[in-house]
Each structure stands twice: as structure tokens, then as C-alpha cells.
């Protein structure tokens, strides 16, 4: 589990920069070009007469948090030191939502994304 967290953290370091670099290339292009890369959206909405296509993902993971402690005592008058490690576990959630707003001709006017780097990797990896 520790390695999953590390992989998500490392992957997350680049996902926003990839989205910032790749998404502008789709502005003015047909929505189908983005669908070809990301797959079908999770939702399609109409807001103020504009179509909004929504891709979203979420995931849960358990992170393992080690805590090391040192104890000093005496045995037969001689000092000894012992080290022990205990673990706590915490649940965390990652999510990412990407929206593309298109005009009446189906051309992408704007886009936006929000969420965690680790979850947005799902989309940044597809856009590379």
C-alpha cells in the first residue's frame, strides 16, 4: 500500500502540468477529438444553452503510516535500548472532474478541471 501511495504522489506531480499543456490544443476542435482520447464522458449537461461534457473519476486508498519509537530500560542493572515500529492506517479519497463546454457546432470553447493530482492522472495519461 505504501508503494501505491508513492506511485499516486509521483504520478500526481505531473498530471496537472500535462492537463495544462494538452487541453489547450483541443480548444476550437470538435468534441469528438477529446472523446477519442478520454473515452465517453460520464455525463452530458446543458447549461445556459451550451453543452457541457463531464468526465469524472474517484478512488479510495489506504495509506500506511509507520511510527517508530525507542524505549530505554535496565536489565540486571545494565541499560538497554529497544526500537519498535507500529502502524496506523488512514483512508483517503482522490477525485478528478474534467468539463468541456462546446458551442452549437460542437466545437470546444472552454474546459476546466478540478480535483487531486493522483486522480487526474487518469486523464492526463490518456492525453499524452
Structural element, H or E, at residue 115: strand 108-115
Which triple of cell numbers denotes residue 100? 468541456
- Give residue-wise pLDDT tens across range 78-121: 999 999 999 999 998 999 999 999 999 999 999 999 999 889 99
On whether the CB atoms of residues 83 and 106 are closer than 8 A, the answer is: no
Q: Is the pLDDT of residue 9 over 60?
A: no
**93 and 125 in contact (C-beta within 8 Å)?**
no
CA atoms of 43 and 63, how far apart (whole Å): 31
Q: Output the pLDDT for position 13.
A: 54
* pLDDT surpasses 70 at 8: no
Question: What CATH architecture does domain 2-64+93-127 belong to?
Answer: 2-Layer Sandwich (3.30)
Pair 98, 22: CB distance under 8 Å:
no
What is the reported pLDDT for 118? 87
C-alpha cell at 76: 540486571
Residue 120's SS3 state is helix
* Cell 501505491 -> residue: 4
Find, among 86, 61, 59, the residue nearest to 71 by Cα. 86
pTM of the model: 0.71
Can you give the residue ranges of every domain in the chain? 2-64+93-127
Q: Compute the average pLDDT of residues 56-62.
A: 92
Range with the lowest mean pLDDT among 35-39, 61-65, 83-87?
61-65
Query: What residue ranges in 21-77 does DSSP mark as E strands?
Result: 43-47, 50-75
Mean pLDDT of 16-32: 97
Over residues 41-51, the mean pLDDT reads 95
Q: What percent of the chain has pLDDT over 90?
A: 78
For residue 12, pLDDT over 80 is answered with no
Amino acid at each position: 500500500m505504501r508503494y501505491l501511495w508513492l506511485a499516486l504522489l509521483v504520478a500526481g506531480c505531473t498530471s496537472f502540468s500535462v492537463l495544462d499543456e494538452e487541453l489547450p490544443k483541443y480548444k476550437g476542435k470538435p468534441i469528438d477529438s477529446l472523446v477519442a482520447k478520454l473515452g465517453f464522458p460520464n455525463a452530458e449537461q446543458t447549461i445556459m444553452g451550451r453543452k457541457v461534457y463531464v468526465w469524472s473519476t474517484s478512488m479510495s486508498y489506504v495509506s500506511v503510516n509507520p511510527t517508530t519509537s525507542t524505549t530505554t530500560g535496565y536489565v540486571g542493572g545494565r541499560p538497554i535500548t529497544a526500537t519498535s515500529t507500529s502502524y496506523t492506517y488512514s483512508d483517503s479519497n482522490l477525485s478528478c472532474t474534467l468539463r468541456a463546454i462546446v458551442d452549437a457546432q460542437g466545437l470546444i470553447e472552454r474546459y476546466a478541471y478540478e480535483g487531486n493530482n493522483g486522480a487526474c492522472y487518469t486523464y492526463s495519461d490518456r492525453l499524452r
